[in-house]
Amino acid sequence: MSQISNRPKVLLIGVNHKTASVDIRERLALKGGDAPAINLFAGLPQLEELVFLSTCNRVEVISSTKDPDDAKDAVKRLWMEKAGMDRGLIDSSLYSYEGRDAIRHVFKVASSLDSMIVGEPQILGQMKDAYRKAVEAKTSGAILNRLLNKAFSVAKLIRTETGIASSAVSISYAAVELAKKIFGELKGKKALLIGAGEMAELAARNLLSNGVSGLVVANRTLSRAVELAKELKGSAISLEEMESALLEADIVISSTGAPDFVLTGEAVRRVMRPRRHRLLFLIDIAVPRDIDPEVNDIDNVYLYNIDDLKGIVEVNKAGREKEARKAERMVDSEVIKFISWLETMDVVPVIQGIRQKAEEVRRNEIARSHSILRDLTPEQQKAVEVLTCSIVQKILHDPIICLKKETRDDGAKDILEAASRLFGLNGSGEDRHF
């Protein structure tokens, strides 16, 4: 029956900083593969729509599907194949949400309620970027278009109407806080920033506001490094010049999108002797990681990755809990509204079919009475047109209201099929006149 569909469900499957370590997250991000991750998942027939979200703290597949169980299995199998992970490790790391729970999770992520640092602003931009890529790849349709745009508006509403962002800090801010714990104060220290994206820029601004006197920006694209360094009154170098910059740096914060290490253990060992083994502090906030973990074995070198920032994050949690609870209530309210919209997806075509069928009958009966109506004045003919339209609307009013109300549960398909048969929308058999 063309009017009835098996309504797709929103399905979300992924990992975040709470369920998987950074090495697992970076493998699931699939950044080092032959094709962009979104293209790999788009090849799964079980996923009707798809948005692939990959950040330093989470990797998530947001989709719509008519068979969530089959879709989950397909996503897991793809990850096992492309990330080289066994099923046990996949199952122990992943979480999945369906329907209402998936919608709520998307809204919470966009609003930074599920972030390592509640209230941090980066996640919204990262989600918008993931959605833009899905639109460009033509993997997002009616459901995810509506879902993601609603998530963006919910996030904006929460940031406007709560104080959740008033004491919020970013990952970059937390990295600088960790540097302060190591050095005591940052006044007079020199910093090397590897990467010139948003995360790197935020880290640079936080470093400067805490007294760092010298800032060098290293980036694969030198023009971007020059642009950021000029804005922050620092200097710019290419990635090939990093070793010379390491000779002077006290603090290194790395945040690039490179698929492999940009700073190796061998490179760090080479600079430590001419540095006279002066303390070198490195924070790797990239996923996949930028800095070879082996550098932690070098004397007077201290490397921290994104998972190490969790302790700093905990300090600020108490002050945001009240505002977070208020934000959660706002999310719940918006989830209800979205569910109401989603539930209309099946009933709308049936209601349209009923109205079209009734209008067709009305027009046919007007045409049959043409020999009588043609003797009426134009004003009288118009009055008959208005009268018959009004009668049809009044007759259909109660059935349509009933359909909208009664199709918001698990029995919706049976009710819609019955309505289609009742009003002759099957497309088979002779038309019936009401």
Task: Kindly report, residue by residue over 266-287, the tens digit of the pLDDT.
Answer: 999 999 999 988 999 999 988 8
Over residues 33-57, the pLDDT tens digits come to 667 899 999 999 999 999 999 998 9
Instruction: Read off the pLDDT band of 321 (50, 70, 90).
Output: confident
Q: What is the pLDDT of residue 318?
A: 66
The mean pLDDT value for 13-25 works out to 94
Instruction: Name which of 116-125, 217-226, 420-429 the model is least confident about.
Output: 420-429
Residues of the chain with CATH 3.30.460.30: 9-167+319-340
Pick the CATH number of 9-167+319-340 from 3.90.226.30, 3.30.460.30, 3.40.190.10, 1.20.1250.20: 3.30.460.30
**Residue 429: per-residue pLDDT:** 37
Residue 32 clears pLDDT 50, i.e. is over it: yes
- Out of 56, 75, 90, 313, the active site residue is 56
Express as a percent the part of the chain with pLDDT over 70. 91
pLDDT of residue 419: 79
Pull the structure tokens for residue 118: 């509640």
Residue 165 has pLDDT above 90, yes or no: no
Domain at 171-315: CATH architecture? 3-Layer(aba) Sandwich (3.40)
pLDDT band at residue 296 using 50, 70 and 90 as cut-offs: very high
Q: Has 389 been annotated as catalytic?
A: no
Band (350; pLDDT cuts 50, 70, 90): confident
Residue ranges, CATH 3.40.50.720, the chain: 171-315
Per-residue confidence at 410, pLDDT binned at 50, 70, 90?
A: low
Confidence of residue 94 (pLDDT cuts 50, 70, 90): very high
Instruction: Write down the pLDDT at residue 167.
Output: 58
pLDDT of 1 reads 38
Percent of the chain having pLDDT more than 90?
55
